[in-house]
Copies of this chain bind each other. A is one copy, B any other.
Amino acid sequence: MLSTMQDVPLTVSRILTHGSTVHGRAKVVTWTGGEPQERSFAEVGARAAQLAHALRDELGVRPQEPVATLAWNNAEHLEAYLAIPAAGAVLHTLNLRLPPAQLAWIVNHAADRVVIANGTLIPLLAPLLPHLKSVEHVVVAGVGDRTPLEGLGVRVHEYEELIAGRPETYDWPEIDEREAAALCYTSGTTGDPKGVLYSHRSVYLHCMQVNSAESFGLTPADLALPVVPMFHVNAWGLPHAAFMAGASLLMPDRFLQPAPLADMIEQLRPTISGAVPTIWQGLLAELDAKPRDTSSLSRVIIGGSACPPALMKAFDERHGIRLVHAWGMTETSPLGTVCYAPPGVDGEEEFAYRLTQGRFAASVEARLVGPDGTVQPWDGAAAGELEVRGPWIAGAYYGGAQGEPFRPEDKFSEDGWLRTGDVGTITADGFLTLTDRAKDVIKSGGEWISSVELENELMAHPQVAEAAVVAVPDPKWDERPLAAVVPVAGAELDFEELRAFLGERIAKWQLPERWTLIEAVPKTSVGKFDKKALRKSYADGELTVVTL
């Protein structure tokens, strides 16, 4: 029997129409450093329609063509977020934090013809433009000196002039929900960037899940502060999800420093926010130094990397702000897990739950694939690489030379699941704990040893300032851990004692035999441990290694 339900596609235009009518009085407030700019969802909807007319009629944007944005979180970027996909084009957000050469590679690969940019980002864009072969139009929104764009061979448009006077409604096309809506490139540490090409369907379903009470649970009573940039995995879906739920938005624009963030929280009273741990670390120091009223924040989503327990505790105890762990990646839209402890637990037990990555969102299927390629049980002990499947999970990259989809073997399983590259465990009640990146895990005799767990235990020793553990080749076990330790200033380290210290906390077969003293752990440009460099130093014989 065929169902007799209406066949209505899930498209961004439906989010736009719903938000700007049913929730037309919700607000988008953009921080400016001075008087905040305020716009209603109805106004944003009308301006999005004007932008869509301008893109089509003035700049000749065609269906499924990418339109790039180089912008902070603000009302104009939200208008582009809605107008570009709703009109049938593809929203391509450019990550302004990437090295210029990588940014240029990405724009050229996507063949962007139109870039919507904030005036304050012209110092970044102008020197890049001579390298952007496809760009014909730059649309500039907001304050900032325009003169650096002169004479660079592109047509420069003022955003406000471009949209002014155009119709405030648009006959949004009824699009196949599997067509592309948005494009984000991931910047791997190796190889060229790879595009993730979201569909209308994936964006829409992801929004619905973001708005579920068990995830971020946005409602019209919320004022959501996306600190996570709109050029980073669509700001975790918050802008579209807020528009769908009728939750007002507080946009920080370029004011991502601790002091203005603390000020906007106190003055405008957001109820929910989302950002990476580094931001909250900075905010904590700011609030400790100069307390503000942050009582409006009922929940703060933390993702991008694991939240240090001390940070979570400090916000709990000193500022009454509840940090909620979530896990995801560009390839997962990003909502994969959100962490709320199960009902009925409290105290230290609850805190231990809160340090996990949490439970999988409905629609996200998960499995752990162990060292021998078999699916591992959910028992909180068996470790494996996390693989996920679902309607907002990437099934391939957009990124071949001709823009064709491609599926590298290390990223996708044979049966189409995404290989996340994260290693961890899952408990019987569905809580995920990530322990390592798959490439950093130590494969010893068919079992996995977590480098991160060893590092954490080592760094708990009072004489250890920093410690990195990497896999080194071993004739008998394939790989064994090498512990590279940095002592605290003035301390004398005794490896025998450190090994005994570890022995009280870690299974015996996981204890490193190889130890080395180093002055500092080598770091990558974003401050992560550079284990590749350490492995190379070992291979090149540059380290003095003691074997116990």
Listed in ascending order, the chain A residues whose CB lies under 8 Å from chain B are 1-8, 10, 14-15, 17-18, 21-25, 64, 66, 90, 178-181, 183, 195-202, 205, 208-209, 211-214, 217-221, 244-246, 340, 342-343, 359-360, 362-363, 365, 378, 389-398, 403, 405, 416, 418, 428-430
Whole-angstrom distance between the Cβ of A400 and the nearest chain B Cβ: 11
Q: Is the Cβ of B430 less than 8 Å from the Cβ of A23?
A: yes
Contact status B221-A343, CB under 8 Å: yes
Residues of B within 8 A of A3 (CB): 178-181, 197-202
B residues in contact with A1, CB < 8 Å = 64, 66, 90, 179-180, 183, 197, 398, 403
Residues in chain B near residue A2, CB distance under 8 A: 178-180, 197, 405
Are B178 and A245 within 8 A (Cβ)? no
Report Cα–Cα, A245/B359, bound state, in Å.
11
Are A360 and B5 interface neighbours, CB within 8 A? no
Minimal Cβ-Cβ distance residue in B for A271: B343
A405:B4 contact, CB within 8 angstroms: yes
Nearest to A243 among chain B residues (CB) is B362
Task: Tell me the nearest residue of chain B to A406, going by C-beta.
Answer: B4
**Contacting pair B214 A212 (CB below 8 A):** no
- The reply to whether B428 and A24 contact each other, CB–CB distance below 8 Å, is yes
How many copies of this kind of chain does the complex include?
A: 2
What CA separation (Å) do A214 and B207 show in the bound complex? Answer: 13
6 A-B pairs closest in CB distance: A3-B199, A22-B430, A213-B217, A6-B395, A4-B396, A1-B180
Residue of B with least CB distance to A19: B362
Q: Are B391 and A5 in contact (CB under 8 A)?
A: yes
The answer on a CB contact under 8 Å between A4 and B197 is yes
- Let me know if B405 and A18 touch, CB within 8 A: no
Of the listed residues A214, A217, A418, the one surrounded by the most CB atoms of chain B closer than 10 A to its CB is A214
A340–B214 contact, CB under 8 A? no
Say whether B208 contacts A212, CB under 8 Å.
Answer: yes
Q: Which of B197, B214, B403 lies in contact with A246, CB distance below 8 A?
A: B214
Give A464 Cβ to nearest chain B Cβ, in Å: 37
Name 16 A/B residue pairs within 8 A (Cβ), A-sorted.
A3-B181, A3-B202, A4-B395, A4-B405, A5-B178, A6-B389, A6-B391, A7-B395, A8-B390, A18-B363, A208-B212, A208-B362, A211-B212, A213-B217, A214-B220, A220-B340
Assembly CA distance A146 to B461 (angstroms) = 70
| A202 partner residues in chain B, CB cutoff 8 A | 3, 5
> Which residues from B are CB-within-8-Å of A64?
1
Is the Cβ of A21 less than 8 Å from the Cβ of B378?
yes
- A10 — nearest CB in chain B belongs to which residue? B391
B21–A430 touching, CB < 8 Å: yes
A460 smallest CB distance to B (angstroms) = 31
Contacts of A378 in B (CB 8 A): 21
Q: What is the minimal beta-carbon distance from A103 to any residue of chain B, in angstroms?
A: 20
Which B residue's beta carbon lies closest to that of A412?
A: B6
| Distance of A208 Cα from B394 Cα, bound (Å) | 21
Are A197 and B5 CB-contacts (below 8 A) given A212-B211, A212-B212, A343-B220? yes
Contacts of A218 in B (CB 8 A): 213-214
The answer for the CA separation of A23 and B213 in the assembled complex, in Å, is 15
- Report the bound CA distance from A15 to B25 in whole Å: 35
Nearest neighbor of A398 in chain B, beta-carbon distance? B4
A246 CA / B25 CA spacing, docked (Å): 33
How many angstroms from the CA of A343 to the CA of B221 in the assembled complex?
5
Q: How many angstroms between the C-alpha atoms of A23 and B398 in the bound complex?
A: 34
A66 / chain B contacts, CB cutoff of 8 Å: 1
Cα A218 to Cα B14 in complex, Å, equals: 24
Task: A15 to B365: give the CA distance in the assembly, Å.
Answer: 11
CA distance A395 to B244 in the complex (A): 23
Q: Chain B's nearest CB lies how many Å from the CB of A363?
A: 7
